[in-house]
Every structure is written in C-alpha cells, then in structure tokens.
Structure 1
Amino acid sequence: MAAATWFYSSPPSLALIHCLRRRPTIYPSILRYLHNFTATKPSNLSSRLYKPPGQAVYAQARRSFSSKVKEDGVASMADLQFEAPLKIVEYPDPILRAKNKRINTFDDNLKKLVDEMFDVMYRTDGIGLSAPQVGKNVHLMVFNPVGERGEGEEIVLVNPKVNRYSRKIVPYNEGCLSFPGIYADVDRPDAVKIDAQDITGQRFEFNLTGLPARVFQHEFDHLQGILFFDRMTDEVLESIRAELQALEKKYEDRTGLQSPEKIDARRRRKTAVGFGKS
C-alpha cells in the first residue's frame, strides 16, 4: 500500500462524496476542494513542506484554545491486535471518548490493521476512518478523499499532529460513520499544516487544504475524543437532537446499559473544542 502518497495527476473523478460518508449526489463545492489539493509527490518521506495553492494565511495554533489531547502512553502489541472483520463503533459507545495511545511499533500487524480499516471504510461508503471508530484506541487514521477502492490515493497517518490552522473558517455539511444517517453543518479551518508518521514510522510534514484538510480534521478530532457534534452551533445541534437521542436509545436497548452520555446534557456543560496546537 502506498501509505503516504500525496500526488494527484488530475482532479479525482466525480466521486460520490459527502464528508466522511459518500452520498449519491455530486456537490460542486467538493470539486472545488479537490482541485485545491495539489500537493506533489515527494522523492522521499522527509520533512519536506508542501504549499497549497493561493496564499492561505496560517494562524499559529494556541494552547489556550486547544482541546486537550486524550492520550495515554504508548500502545502495546495487544492494543493493535484485532479480529477481522472490524465493525464501526457507533455513538454513544464510550470507546469514542476514551484516551488514545501513540504507536511506536511499525510492523506487519499495523499494516494488517490499516488494510482492515480501509476495507471497513470502503464497505461502509466512507472517505475517512480513525482507529477509535473500529474499537482501537490508538493514534491512527486512514482516508481517501475519492472514497472508491482503486481510485484517488489511500492516505495513512500515524501519530499525526497539527502545527497550524488557517484563519479562514468554512462551513460544510458533514456526516460520520459513527453517526449513521446524520448530517449537519460544521465550521472548520480551510487548511492545516501537519506532521505525522507513515506506516514504516518515517516522519514527514505537509499542508492540506479544502476537502482533504476537512477529512483530516474530522478524523483528528476522533483521536482526541472529540465528536463532530461537539463543534456544531446550538442551532445546528438542535436540528439533529432527536437523531442523537435515537442513537442513545439504540445503545441502551442493545447493551442493557444506560447511555454513557446524553445530548441533553450539552445544555448544561461547555466542551473545549477550539482549534489549537496538539
């Protein structure tokens, strides 16, 4: 698998994309985002920087606005072991809020986990997937902005970090595999400068803009225990409140346990969801 290939010879085909899930509709704004993703293929996985088109202004990420990274040590071999097929973890399963561990072992087991995550992503019509969403609390994500096996580029990021976010904030209608059938607007920075490791452990640094930047941020939030509705305005959240309550009831009916979180409690608490350095 080409774990960290950042080259598009031409804009991807008119994919059936809806952020983090695919829908049978073509959105013109998506095509604009994909045209903006023009990073070039590196000759090696060094810490080269790739500048997106235009003059995106980056704001240095500030700790005062950051969401605390829920990270707890280094992943053991047991943390990376799994039995196929993996299944999507749905809200409000506590796995989605649990602390996630850094990966220090880059072996065949990690490659098998990555392959399985791509299989799950394609099978569920996704374009991005984080390890917590399949029950593995480690810092790992995969995505393909085209969302079709054999098309676009399969991107693997291990232990990703955000160095900077752009000042330009844009809204977009997002979905999430852990929230089946739910879509709502989320505001996010239009560009990010990040560094990460590839599947061999080699570290590199690069820029993402448009749709790839949004997919990355959505999955990066998962690695911090942040869910996409945490970033919604109260007005937008109200439009999907009943659907979230239905998922909470589904969890209770399936497990016989009380839901570990209630969307109604959001009215009584504030969640730190600022964009900041992690």
Structure 2
Amino acid sequence: MPSGIAVEKKKLKNPPLQLHYLGDRVLRQNTKRIAKVDDETRQLIREMLQTMYSNDGIGLAAPQVGVHKQLIVVDVEPDNPANPPLILINPTIKKFSKEICQAQEGCLSIPGVYMDVTRPQVVEVSYKDENGRPRTIKAGDLLGRCIQHEMDHLNGVVFVDRVDNSLALAQELSKHGFSQQAVKPVV
C-alpha cells in the first residue's frame, strides 16, 4: 500500500531533523510504541523522510533523530519518484526465513563505514501505516535487510554491533573517527 505522505525525494540544504551518531546515548535507548497515529506522527514522518533523502539514506529510524518512538521510514528506491516510501509504525517481526545471507550495510548514524552483516534472507513484519491501519509485509533482499537494520535501531542496536570481523570493524571505525568502545556486540 503506497504511503499517503507526499514528500519530494530531494536533498534539502537544511533538513528538518538532526542525525545522531555512533557514541551518542540516544542511539542505545529503547523506544516506546506509538499509541495513536495522528497529525503529529504524520508530521514527524514527513520530517524523517526529508532528513533521510537529504542524507542519501534508504532507511531512517526515529532514534537516529533523537525521537524514542517505534517508527521507521524506508525507501530502497530513493531515485524513483514513482516508488512511494514505506512507513512502519510499531513494527514487529512475525517470521524470519531459515535462509540467511551476508551483505554490506551502512548507516546514516555511522557515515563512511560499510561492513558485512549476516541477517535472515526474508522477514514477515506486521506494523501500522501512516493512517494507523494494521498491515503485514513479507520482505526480502534489500528491502528485508533495510527493515531489519532500521528495526534494530528501535531496540538500541546499531549494525556494527552485528559485525563478526572485529579487527576489520575496529580499523573502519578508527578510519572514520568512531570509537570501538561505542560498539555493543549482539550475543
């Protein structure tokens, strides 16, 4: 179901929201469910989309802009104006595929760092859309990976926490000015 929230897919010189970066406590806090989807929520969605497009992202979670709510926006085709973004409010993964795959990930909160992460190939996710209607999506490939990556943010997990090669990770983080101490490996 296409999003009813219209935002032009373009870079703004001054995006409405400020990104938080690895090492900032705000990225490690758990989020709260959104009780009521209202105009305030839809305005936050618009601003998150504008901020995501302005920073060349394909996904953004509310904690990355300092908001402790279970809200993510995803657009794996930011260059395609005909492809609407996906808005997921209070998302829950219902099923993971047994098949796993490894692929490179990056994050707007850790600019310049790209590392391989292993995740389930396909996920089934239930969520509410921007009108508060319950939805379910089965997603694989880049979309499935992006949804899982953004959902991690809702639980205070950043993709570098899932990187297996700690030596390569330490080198990449150091090269881009981030501290290895900011990583909290997922066990």
Instruction: Pick the aligned partner of 1:175 from 106, 122, 131.
Output: 106
Instruction: Pick the aligned partner of 2:50 from 113, 119, 122.
Output: 119
Q: What is the aligned partner in structure 1 of residue 115 from structure 2?
A: 184
Runs of 4+ in 1 over 6 A off after TM superposition: none
Q: Indicate whether 1:202 and 2:108 are aligned.
A: no
Structure 1: 5+ residue runs without aligned partners? 5-83, 249-260, 273-278
1:98 shift after superposition? 0.5
**In 2, distance between residues paired with 1:192 and 1:240?**
26
Q: What is the aligned partner in structure 1 of residue 167 from structure 2?
A: 238
Give me the TM-score of the superposition, normalised by structure 2.
Answer: 0.86
**In 1, distance between residues paired with 2:63 and 2:40?**
17
The 5 A counterparts of 1:233-272 are 233=164, 235=165, 237-245=166-174, 246-248=177-179, 262-263=181-182, 271-272=186-187
Preserved contact between residue 161 and residue 196 of structure 1 (Cα < 8 Å): yes
The 5 A counterparts of 1:61-210 are 85-148=16-79, 150-210=81-141
1:91–1:182 distance in 2 versus 1, CA, 3 Å: same
**In 2, distance between residues paired with 1:149 and 1:169?**
28
Equivalenced residue count is 176
Structure 2: 5+ residue runs without aligned partners? 5-14
Q: Indicate whether 1:3 and 2:3 are aligned.
A: yes
Q: What letter corresponds to residue 271 of structure 1 in structure 2?
A: V
Same amino acid, percent of matched pairs: 35
Tell me which of the two structures has the higher relative contact order, counting C-alpha pairs closer than 8 angstroms and 6 or more residues apart.
Answer: 1
Preserved contact between residue 62 and residue 68 of structure 2 (Cα < 8 Å): yes
| Structure whose CA Rg is larger | 1
1:240 shift after superposition? 2.8
Preserved contact between residue 122 and residue 148 of structure 1 (Cα < 8 Å): no
**In 1, distance between residues paired with 2:80 and 2:17?**
18
Q: What is the aligned partner in structure 2 of residue 39 from structure 1?
A: none
CA RMSD across the alignment: 2.2
What is the SS of the residue equivalent to 1:218?
helix
